[in-house]
Amino acid sequence: MEKRYPGTILATACVPWTESYEIDEPVFIAGVRKLLDQNLRHIYLFGTAGEGYAVSDRQYQRLVTLFVQAMDRPDCQPMIGLISLSFETMKERLAFAYAQGIRDYMFAFPAWGALQDDELDLFLHDLLDPYPDCRFLHYNNVRSKRLLSAKEYEVLAETFPNLAGAKYSTGDLSVILSLAANPSPLRFFLTETGFSYGSQIGDFGLLLSIGNCNLPQAWRYYEACLAHQTEAVIRMQQELSEMTQKLKAVVGPGIKIDGSYDKIFSKIQDPAFPLRLLPPYIGTTDEAYQAFCAYLRKEQPAWIDA
């Protein structure tokens, strides 16, 4: 069945903050264009790594405006994330981004309490129905307190023609099998943890994570997976797994929010990129960044540009 969203690499844009927690606009625009220069065309702003849960309405509107400007190239598909405890805020932000020309969106469920079935139905109709010309991806994240199953997506795809897919950060083989067998037209995106397996048994997109360390190498990994080049896929998957373990080790103990890791990747691409997060969340350190870069240069040189 033809999918409602292209099979490709989906990448995130992180937000650089100055010491006074203002947007570092030149660095932000340069970061987005760096992704574009590496042939990425499907880029989203305001996932967890992009601090969509933390920005104010003022910051949101300014960043959407800058993002649209930076993504003004042929065939670009800018996507905006909608994450908030307030459903009214989500709808207002959607309306603003729509007025700027955005037609692709990623949304998460409000997380104060898990949505019950009737609440889920109300949420999706109110969010999706007014925008039949848009494509929506669901961010199937445990932070929302309700994870959808493959069967639930199959039902929802029949009701909502503009629901185009979902993001999954999972390496659970049983979950990946259920998604591969899903007969709906939704496009499911897996991170590197699950993509190497999922691409061998189904039609998935790649949700880029640690592969951001080297975008040309990430493309080689993606293409090797699609071509079923088993030896190369196994080798690169092992490299990515070891890199993930090392990254967690240098960042340190405790559960860090996603941006703590993703901003290291952004800084690898642009050393001027700051690691700080909006308070109260605390990002990682320059020492951790330097330690991870040193590891890559010594142990995984194919995954770092310099």
Q: What is the domain range of residue 52?
A: 9-229
Q: What is the pTM of this model?
A: 0.95
Q: Would you state the pLDDT for residue 103?
A: 98
What DSSP string describes 64-79? HHHHHHHT-STT-EEE
Query: Which residues share a beta bridge with 139?
Result: 167
Pair 101, 68: CB distance under 8 Å? yes
Token pair, residue 112, equals 């104060």
> Is residue 274's pLDDT more than 60?
yes
> Is residue 252's pLDDT more than 90?
no
Q: Is residue 63 helix, strand or coil?
A: helix
Please report which helix (H) or strand (E) contains residue 232, including its range: helix 230-251
In a domain, 31, yes or no: yes
> Is residue 238's pLDDT more than 90?
yes
Mean pLDDT calculated for residue range 265-273: 95
> Is residue 306's pLDDT more than 60?
no
Kindly state the DSSP code that residue 22 receives in the 8-state scheme: -
Q: How confident is the model at residue 261 (pLDDT cuts 50, 70, 90)?
A: very high
In a domain, 161, yes or no: yes
Q: How confident is the model at residue 286 (pLDDT cuts 50, 70, 90)?
A: very high
In a domain, 235, yes or no: no
In a domain, 27, yes or no: yes
The residue assigned the tokens 């080689």 is 220
In a domain, 53, yes or no: yes
The residue assigned the tokens 């690499």 is 9
Say which amino acid occupies 207. L
Instruction: Give the pLDDT confidence of 159-200 residue by residue, as tens digits.
Output: 999 999 999 988 889 999 999 999 999 999 999 989 999 999
Q: Would you state the pLDDT for residue 90?
A: 98
Mean pLDDT, all residues of the chain: 95
Pair 205, 187: CB distance under 8 Å? yes
In a domain, 244, yes or no: no
| Overall number of domains in the chain | 1
In a domain, 238, yes or no: no
In a domain, 297, yes or no: no
Instruction: Give the pLDDT confidence of 83-121 residue by residue, as tens digits.
Output: 999 999 999 999 999 999 999 999 999 999 999 999 999
Kindly state the DSSP code that residue 300 receives in the 8-state scheme: -
Instruction: Using alpha carbons only, give the angle 114, 85, 21 rounded to the nearest 5 degrees.
Output: 140
| CATH number of the structural domain spanning residue 176 | 3.20.20.70
